[in-house]
Structure 1
Amino acid sequence: MSDTDEWPLAEILSKRESGSKKEFYVHYIDYNKRLDEWVTPDRMNLGKLQPPAKKEPKSQSGSAKGSRPSSPDREPNAQFRKQVSQNRKRKLGMLDRADEENSSDAPPPPKTGSLRPHGGSMSHDDVITRIKNVQMIELGRYRIKPWYFSPYPIELTSEPVIYLCEFCLKYVRSRKCLERHRTKCTIIHPPGNEIYRKGSLSVFEIDGRKNKMYAQNLCLVAKLFLDHKTLYYDTDPFLFYVMTEMDSHGFHTVGYFSKEKESTEDYNVACILVLPPFQRKGYGKLLIEFSYELSKFEGKCGHPEKPLSDLGLLSYRSYWTQTLLEVIIGLPRADDGSSPSVAINELCEVTSVRKEDVISTLHHLNAIHYYKGQYVLHVSKEVLEGHQRSMEKRKVRIDSKHLHWTPKDWAKRGKW
């Protein structure tokens, strides 16, 4: 593995030859796909080569007694890849119903569109989408190495760098083309309505129907850094909330989240992303906090669509923990000086966090205990000290006074 002394087990997904040079594209088993890479034979220990895992035969009443499963070295590679993929998903808790039913008719990934969870059996197209096809993108003053596959046009993916306009996200193949585009592209912020601004931080609401091209370009960029999402062409049913930093040159995108205009499940986030140059700066929690502020305006308890990415799950768990502890610590004592009391439903109403997420977070903190016939909350000293340290680092918060937004009832609008 690059930059380490480890020799982890890896699955070979593809190979290529350039003259006398041969390379293999490998996925490291039990590691995130963002670490997948092309390697040369000198980095492979072929002395420890393992055949595909042997598949257990299904017992059938009408099967012959002498029948036995085929030897593992004759098992199709696609089946092995499918089994490995499902095992990893099951381990991570991300196995979709389509995977469980071994569906084999999943459609190939279309060209562009909004990001949606997707499951399915491993096919030739699935193998292709597991291989990174973009070497580098240039967005504003940053050059970013992508983590995953994104269906950009094939004539661009053969280039060493794809150049993006940092305001409209149009993609071109050279810096010269980008310079010509910038002479024509006069916008300095995402299209749509600016619904929040405090200091240099702004959030724009973009309608996926009115600004289809921008929404599709945004999803193409997001797919470079999100694994468990598939691009569909239709962005009409979605709203996109793009967070930006403002300076003298314009409004620079740092991240975004999307949500359905109509959600029967009360989802307040369909997809969420902070671009790599802006990660570990608190923007993830800001986007999550903003999504729950919108839920408060709507009078609902929201929650994100599943599955969450590994980084997304960490961000949400951290946000739920800090938000609930902030409310619990601020509870006033009773008149007689006894410990304060609060119901789970009250925590949901104050935070707009769904009941299931509140309970799972409290269990994660080991804060729920059964004592003398009733459930009580007890937060340990270590948890409180950790909460205090994390809140000291979280200096930027969403101020609802600066949010100018009125929820729409999309069900009554007929057409979006």
Structure 2
Amino acid sequence: MAVELNEASLLRKAIEGCRLPVRMGDTDEWPLAEIISKREHAARKEFYVHYIDYNKRLDEWVTSDRLNLGKLQPPMKKEPKSLSGAAKGSRPSTPDREIPVPLKKQMSQNRKRKLGMLDKADDDSSQEVAAPPQTGSLRPHGGDKCSDDVVTRIKNVHMIEMGQYRMKPWYFSPYPIELTTEPVIYLCEFCLKYVRSRKSLERHRSKCTLFHPPGNEIYRKESISFFEIDGRKNKAFAQNLCLLAKLFLDHKTLYYDTDPFLFYVMTSQDSRGFHIVGYFSKEKESTEDYNVACILVLPPFQRKGYGKLLIEFSYELSKFEGKAGHPEKPLSDLGLLSYRSYWTQTLLEILIGLKREEGSQAMVTINELCEMTSIRKEDVVSTLQHLNVIHYYKGQYVLHVSDELVEGHAKSTRKKKTRIDPKCLHWTPKDWTKRGKW
């Protein structure tokens, strides 16, 4: 009895912000975790935990028997905000300005008008995105990290079904709250409309005329195609795509104004249509020369080389535009690995090719590498440093590719089967500075 009372007392102390060891999944590992939220479910207490040294995609609801309550740590005290933050070097990126009350009211009215299309809940006949009550002011692009608000830190969708695949989400996405209570959300694999039952999906498919993403097909080779979708002309599809992507992207925030973005959707074709494999988005006008805002390969297609294919395609577009591009930061852990791998392979291809043609005295500059690849100078230099290719010799920097790098590159080249063929790309860059083209 005393043991039970002691456990009940410890469970009451296990509140949001506490840290303690938690048994991870079906393993015998007990990593340190933080309690994000707690609830009563099926007459028992459950705790939503984040494993401190692990990616948020592993966050989960656990029962009390998986908690090591004997090592419970109280919540860490947060430092109070003070006006002297600027003196410590922690000033905001944009100065705070006092907004007059009438202007605040006008801004609120304008925002409501802008998002008015989002106020209706989803039903079988609607193609518009509904804004659920718990979304707050989430915004599917931009470099800011997701809000640490408790609601957005908890996965709200149990499972999605799209085509022949069922996928378990990794992160929060603001789907309508009435859908998030369902065990599965069903998505049309061509227009990405979401419904709550398979029967609703069947009714939708009997009316949906799409068998590929809307927009222009600008590339096709064998079974791989790319479609360019304008976020203004195909708003419903773009918004649905962003909601889907947010389930698997943590470092991007979500908002519904897709007008300033282009979406490049990669598909795999079969007898039933063009099935979405992944996509990347980019701003129509980017002052920083970003060629990617968000990039994603859906989980069923990961580890098959599609990530590099998307990256290669984004740089191929940059070559057509005649400028060096780079992805918007921060990159996810998987995104950084894919980009580093692509930069490494692309630069080694050029350096090894020059070495074979001109011997060990081949001459090439960093600027020439940038022009040939459309990779930004900073990314070229960081990749060469990562490979330990840059050396200082007799007063100047030289590039030396070791035999080990040549052998490693040869092995990776044999594994990679699919490449982007520039001859199959039929696309003309637009000058988006002219607003009439929006």
TM superposition score normalised by structure 2: 0.81
Aligned pair 1:10/2:33, yes or no? Answer: yes
Does the 8 A contact of 1:168 with 1:214 survive in 2?
Answer: yes
With over 3 angstroms needed to count, the CA separation of the structure-2 counterparts of 1:99 and 1:129, relative to structure 1, is farther
Give, in whole Å, the separation in 2 of the partners of 1:353 and 1:97: 32
Identity between Structure 1 and Structure 2 (%): 79
Q: Give the secondary structure class of the aligned counterpart of 1:330.
A: helix
Mapped partners of 2:220, 2:34: distance in 1: 47
Paired with 2:226 and 2:306, the residues of 1 have a C-alpha distance of 12
The change in CA–CA distance for 1:177 and 1:8 in structure 2 (over 3 A counts) is same
Give secondary structure in 2 for the equivalent of 1:129: helix
Where does 1:90-169 land on structure 2 (aligned, <5 Å)? Answer: 109=135, 114-119=140-145, 122=148, 126-169=149-192
- Contact preservation (8 Å) 1:111, 1:233: no
- Any stretches of 5+ residues in structure 2 without a counterpart? 1-23, 85-89, 97-110, 112-133
Question: Where do 1:327-406 residues align within 5 Å?
Answer: 327-331=350-354, 339-406=361-428
> Over aligned residue pairs, what C-alpha RMSD do you find?
2.5
Conservation of the 8 A alpha-carbon contact between 1:98 and 1:120: no
CA shift in 2, pair 1:99/1:157, >3 Å: farther
Shift of 1:357: 0.1
Flag the 1:99–1:159 CA change in 2: closer, same or farther, 3 A: farther
Asked whether the equivalents of residues 39 and 46 of structure 2 are also in contact (C-alpha less than 8 Å), the reply is: yes
Q: Cα offset for 1:388? A: 1.4
**Aligned match of 1:87:** none
Residue 181 of structure 1 aligns with an amino acid whose one-letter code is: H
Distance 1:113 1:213 in 2: 16
CA distance in 1 between counterparts of 2:30 and 2:44 reads 22
TM-score using structure 1 length: 0.85
In structure 1, distance between residues paired with 2:295 and 2:83: 46
Instruction: Tell me the amino acid that sits aligned with residue 405 of structure 1.
Output: W
Indicate the residue corresponding to 1:250 in structure 2. Answer: 273
Distance in 1 of aligned mates of 2:187 and 2:353 = 46
Partner of 2:282: 259
> Aligned-pair distance for 1:339?
1.6
- Which residue matches 2:131? none
Residue 226 of structure 2 is aligned to residue 200 of structure 1: no
Distance 1:379 1:109 in 2: 51
- In structure 2, relative to structure 1, the CA distance for the partners of 1:55 and 1:315 (3 Å cut) is same
> Tell me, what secondary structure is at the counterpart of 2:217?
strand
Deviations 1:210-255 (A, max 9, x none): 0000000000000000001111110000000000000000000000
Name the aligned partner's letter for residue 147 of structure 1: W
Hey, what does 2:208 align to over in structure 1? Answer: 185
Deviations 1:107-141 (A, max 9, x none): 9955787322224874xxx1110100000000100
Contact residue 99 and residue 119 of structure 1 kept, 8 A = no
Distance of 2:139 and 2:270 partners within structure 1 = 30
Hey, what does 2:343 align to over in structure 1?
A: 320
Q: CA deviation at 1:16?
A: 1.1
1:6-55 deviations in Å (ceiling 9; x for gaps): 10000000111124211100000010000000000000101111123356
* Residues 262 and 283 in structure 2, CA contact (< 8 A), matched pair in contact too: yes
Give deviations 1:265-318, integer Å, cap 9, x for gaps.
110000000000000000000000000000000000000000000000000000
Is the partner of 2:65 in helix, strand or coil?
A: helix
Which of 278, 289, 301 is 2:301 aligned to? 278
Most deviating of 190-199 and 373-382: 373-382
User: Which region of structure 1 is more displaced relative to structure 2, 345-354 or 45-54?
Assistant: 45-54
Match of 1:41 among 64, 67, 86: 64
**2 CA distance for matches of 1:56 and 1:163?**
44
Task: Return the alpha-carbon distance in structure 2 between the equivalents of residues 59 and 201 of structure 1.
Answer: 55
| Kept in 1: contact 2:146–2:250 (CA 8 A) | no
For 1:230, what is the secondary structure of its paired residue?
A: coil
On the 8 A contact 2:140/2:246 being kept in 1, the answer is no
Match of 1:116, SS state, is coil
Structure 2 contact 138–253 (Cα < 8 Å) conserved: no
Q: Aligned partners of 1:175, 1:113: CA distance in 2, in Å?
A: 29
The C-alpha deviation readout for 1:175-206, integer Å capped at 9, x for no partner, is: 00000000000110000000000001100000
Residue 324 of structure 2 corresponds to residue 301 of structure 1 = yes
Residues 213 and 55 of structure 1: CA distance in aligned 2, closer, same or farther (over 3 Å): closer
SS in 1 for 2:383: helix
Equivalent residues of 1:23, 1:38 under 8 A apart: yes
* Aligned partner (choices 254, 268, 271) of residue 231 of structure 1: 254
Displacement after TM superposition at 1:415 (Å): 5.3
